[in-house]
Structure 1
Amino acid sequence: MKMLVQHSDGLDLQVYFPQGILAKYVQGIWIAAHQGVDTNNVTRYLKANGCNAITFCLKGHIAFDSVKYAPGVYLQPATLQAKGMTFTSNTLAVGVCLQPGAMSLFSPLPNEVTCAGKTQGDKNPNLSVCFDMLQTVHTPYALLTCLYRHFMSIFAQTADFNPTLLCVLPYFSEPKSLQSIAAGLPVGQRQLERVFKQAMGITAKQYQRIVRVNKAVQYLRCNPSANLIAVAYEFGYSDQAHMTREFKSFTHYTPSYYIRD
């Protein structure tokens, strides 16, 4: 399992990228521990990826876009814009970022951050059990192992992905219009929209815009000397200003942030 470790402002953040079977359903698992002083809150901005996530706040408090939440389990809707996530001092939280459509396999899609587990355990009993188990372990490895095993057991009991969704997702990797994408698929544009709304809770057009921004981010990180005007046209934006607006909406940052020294 690949891992990314970050430490700054008193926040220890470890991100794990599953491989094998779980990678089909889970993009990443993160563990965050904030040991800062009482007044030192730390905010991280999460890029929009069009996917659902589940956060387990085990100790302290977290906030999504300034709305504060106590310990518990929180289902997050598909992200359509950059979201600020704030950790108060002495907070321990872990989270699971799901693959597109994975939430719909075992839970109704939330329209907003929704409390589950401890307060609504009857609706999501699997997550309530997981929350209780996580509170009995303390090391990052133990937390990771607990999440990994629990989500493997959840997805082992679910039906498989919507085959139409799996078929169409790869077509969104190119900077084409939605009409052009639909024209090359065995399903019509209306059916395509229904599949996205049912499996992900967002429209195909929204997902297309998110994918384009994230691919542009990846390109800029690999090509820090790239000309931003040329990049804008390469990824299908009308001009650099259009690309900048999309970046700020979906990542919180401008394109120049990703090519700074």
Structure 2
Amino acid sequence: MDTTFDFRLMHLDGPLSQHVQAVWSASVSSCSQPVNKPLFSDGASGAFIILKGEVTYEQGIYQQGIHWVSVQKQAQFITMSPELLMLGFRFQPGISKEHFSVFRQSEATKNSEKQEVTANQQGIKGLISRLSEAAQTDQLTVLCQWLQQHLKSDVIENGLTHFIRHIDHKAELKGIEQQLPLSLRQIERQFKSQIGFTPKYYQRLMRIRAAIQLIKQNPSANLVDLAIEAGFSDQAHMNREFRQLARMTPKEYQATKKV
């Protein structure tokens, strides 16, 4: 067991899960070397909240505060400093911070808008203060409570979010289209404008995520069988997709889980 790095993930349910899929925390001990980890794309955006230490991500260095992670088309790597303590959350695909007034950082021109932006900034600063004061074992609960309090939104399930809820890595897109009021062409346009790529590309990411989950469950699994179970045509297909989207091979990822 790695005692230098601790990662905790909490998947959400209830009303909040319509907007946020999971919250998480990560910490690195003071006696550790910097820790480098891949962040695999799932078609969603999110944020990480640094309470202590710093991280290097996409060639930028980030310290205390809230930092936004946009939708990525392939895996990115994050390097975490010794004594790091941070938390974060992931929106559901198709949901972004722009849906929620508490996260909007646009310049306001009217007095009422200025007051709203100021209140929002205080809300985020208040979150960081509450997290810093809470015991580490309670911080994920504090984060969930804050999200439940502030993510009061007019976001409703539209054709895109309904489509995303029903798609999986093996689904036939035309079969899902028949259940929706929108055509596949309209869904594709919404995908590109709100997420940044097509539904088929999203399914490619989902197959990678399915394979990663299977490897986590059984690090010694036969990769030929695993490829078929994850929805790839064969192992060679899975290897190509991993290199392009996960920026490593399945065998390389499997080796990290065996350790």
* TM-score scaled by length of structure 2: 0.77
Task: Say if 1:15 and 1:28, in contact at 8 Å, map to a contact too.
Answer: yes
Q: Does 1:140 align with 2:156?
A: no
Structure 2 regions of 5+ residues with no counterpart?
Answer: 106-114
1:53 aligns to 2:46 (yes or no): yes
Alpha-carbon distance in structure 2 between the residues aligned to 1:177 and 1:34: 42
Structure 1 residue runs without a partner (length 5+) = 1-6, 115-120
Equivalent residues in 2 for 1:93-104 (5 A)?
93-103=86-96, 104=98
Structure 2: distance between partners of 1:235 and 1:17:
21
Partner of 1:117: none
Say yes or no: does 1:251 pair with 2:252.
no
Contact 1:244 1:254 survives alignment (8 Å):
yes
More strand by share: 1
With 185-194 and 87-96 compared, the bigger mean Cα shift is at 185-194
Report SS of the residue matched to 1:195.
helix
Indicate whether 1:206 and 2:201 are aligned: yes
Greater helix content: 2
Q: CA deviation at 1:210?
A: 0.8
- Aligned ranges 1:74-223 → 2 under 5 Å: 74-103=67-96, 104-106=98-100, 126=120, 129-135=123-129, 136-156=132-152, 158-176=153-171, 178=173, 182=177, 185-222=180-217
1:241 to 236, 239, 243: 236
The 3 A distance-change label for structure 1 pair 196 and 143 is same
Deviations 1:212-258 (A, max 9, x none): 22123334555667553454455554542221121234334432344
Q: Which residue of 2 is the match for residue 23 of structure 1?
A: 17
Paired-residue identity, %: 29
3-state SS of the aligned residue for 1:94? strand
Q: Distance in 1 between matches of 2:169 and 2:5?
A: 36
Structure 1's 142 and 48: CA in aligned 2 closer, same or farther, altered over 3 A?
Answer: same
Separation (CA, whole Å) in 1 of partners of 2:202 and 2:35: 29
Distance in 2, matches of 1:82 and 1:174, equals: 18
Root-mean-square deviation (Å) = 3.4
What TM-score do you get using the length of structure 1 for normalisation? Answer: 0.76
Q: Which amino acid aligns with 2:242?
A: F
